[in-house]
Amino acid sequence: MLKAMMVRSIKAPTNPFSYGGLALDDAFADRETEVQELKFDVLNGQDVVIFAPRRFGKSSLVWKTMQQLGVEGALVAYVNLMTTPTKEKLAEKLATAIYESIASPQERAKEASLKLFRGLQITPRITIDPEDGRLSFTFGVGHATTDVDATIERLLELPAELSATGERRVGLVFDEFQEIEEIDRSLPRLMRTIFEQQPEVSRVYLGSRRHMMERIFNDENEPFWRSAKRIELGVVEPRRFAGFIIDRFEGTRKQVPRPIVDSLLTHTSGHPYATQELCYFLWEETPFDSAATAASLEAALRAVLRSEHSHFQLRWEGASVSQKLLLQALAVEPGRPMTSAYRTRYELPTAATVQAALRALERRELIARRADGSHEIVEPFLAAWIRALDDEIGPSI
């Protein structure tokens, strides 16, 4: 009886795979080369822009790097521009990030923080959270444009000044940076002017809308043209992902034979999000103290398609007829849709119509151009979902 109670009291391991949010700590798969490269870039004061398709782990990579930079003694502030629809909100996020991540403990004292932001054109309203004592900053609305611009300019100058005071390397991370033009078209020029005078501060830029990021950093008419080193994230090398998967299973009282891992990676091609997602469901389909099988992998694949159905259906419904025809062809055969042979093989419309569909799908980041010039659907399971449209696990799930 006592033995049975002890067995019941042992907590079963939780699923070691993570998708949908940031993959941090043990959930972070490989990318060690990219982490080291980005870390040294920040420590060297190099600005970096990260390019990758959706769901390739850009944010997870940056957060992992920020953790390691903290150990190195660097100060890194993070601002997500998706949460700053106005310039006043941008000022609030900048002030909060500078206060929490760059200011020294002495500068974070209430009186010192008041002094820190006293030179702003617009004085923020500072409130204290009664639970944890954290300060928050608000700038209100209705200010003159020149005053808001001057406030943002001063906030962008502060990291360099604080870096010189503390003699520590400082980095600024701007997530969803493509939103900068939605906030105000004049902001990129203002920011670039300030950043050119701050070689001691490194900036890292990332965004989820690649075509906009490409224009911001690759168009010679844009202020940020050739202003940052480019890092291109690809898929995780299957060999490295295989070891990660096997270790995660073995560490949680389950096993996954190498042939099953190889089959899983064939389905995902090393796509970071898709691999973590399929591993999550495979782990759930595998009993404790047992090994994953081909049958459990097939069940995991069906579970992934059910889980993603609503998301994929919205993407599908947002496509035009010509885009749907092109997606159906690419789901079967990644290739060169502009060639007459490919269009004939899949009964696609005219070259001009296919070209317009290609551009639209690339802007929506549903498809991407490979290094050899061919095209493919970015998300592996979207291709599987499209192929399954006429099957019983398609729209009926």
pLDDT, tens digit only, all 397 positions of the chain = 445 444 444 577 899 998 865 555 555 556 788 889 999 999 999 999 998 777 777 888 888 899 899 888 889 999 999 999 999 999 999 999 998 898 876 666 656 666 777 778 998 888 877 777 777 888 988 899 999 999 999 999 999 988 876 678 899 999 999 999 899 999 999 999 999 998 889 999 998 788 889 999 999 999 999 999 999 887 778 888 899 999 999 999 999 999 999 999 999 988 888 999 999 999 999 999 999 999 999 999 999 999 999 999 999 999 999 999 999 999 999 999 999 999 999 999 999 999 999 999 998 989 988 888 899 998 889 999 999 886 644 433 3
Helix ranges, the chain (H): 2-9, 32-43, 58-71, 87-101, 110-116, 145-166, 180-183, 187-195, 210-218, 238-250, 258-268, 272-285, 294-317, 321-332, 340-345, 351-363, 380-387
pLDDT score for 63:
86
Distance of CA 41 to the CA centre of its chain: 19
d(CA 163, CA 154): 15
pLDDT number for residue 28: 58
Range of the domain at 292: 238-314
In this structure, are 45 and 158 located in the same domain?
Answer: yes
- Residue finishing a domain among 314, 333, 353: 314
The SS3 assignment for 34 reads helix
Let me know whether 61 and 49 are in one domain: yes
**In angstroms, what CA-CA distances link 110 with 43, 126, 135, 198, 231?**
30, 9, 8, 27, 39
**Same structural domain, 139 and 219:** yes
Q: Would you state the pLDDT for residue 110? A: 56
Q: Would residue 309 count as lying in a domain? A: yes
Same-domain status, 100 and 223: yes
d(CA 88, CA 93): 9
- Residue 324 inside a domain? The answer is yes
Whether residue 18 lies inside any domain: the answer is: no
DSSP 126: E
Task: Indicate the residue type of 225.
Answer: W
Residue 5 lies in a domain: no
Give the burial string for 50-88 (b: 16+ CB within 10 Å, else e): bbbbebbbbbbbbbbbbeebeeeebbbbbbbbeebeebb
Q: Which of 104, 78, 116 is nearest to 168 (CA)?
A: 104
Q: What is the pLDDT of residue 64?
A: 87
Mark whether 304 and 263 lie in a shared domain: yes
Cα separation, 358 vs 368, in Å, equals 9
- How many Å apart are CA 389 and CA 17, to the nearest integer? 28
38 close to 59: Cβ distance less than 8 angstroms:
no
The reply to whether 135 and 192 lie within a common domain is: yes
- The answer to whether the pTM exceeds 0.75 is yes
Query: What is the C-alpha to C-alpha distance for residues 386 and 375, in angstroms, rounded to an integer?
Result: 16
Given 216, 232, 248, the domain boundary residue is 232
Pairing outcome for strands 125-128 and 367-369: unpaired
Domain stop point among 290, 314, 338: 314
Residue 252 lies in a domain: yes
Q: How many domains does the chain have?
A: 3
pLDDT at 9: 47
Q: Please indicate, yes or no, if residue 134 is contained in any of the structural domains.
A: yes
Q: Do 245 and 258 share a structural domain?
A: yes
Same domain, 262 and 359: no
Tell me, yes or no, whether 72 lies in a domain: yes
Q: What is the CATH number of the domain that holds 348?
A: 1.10.10.10
Same domain, 168 and 113: yes
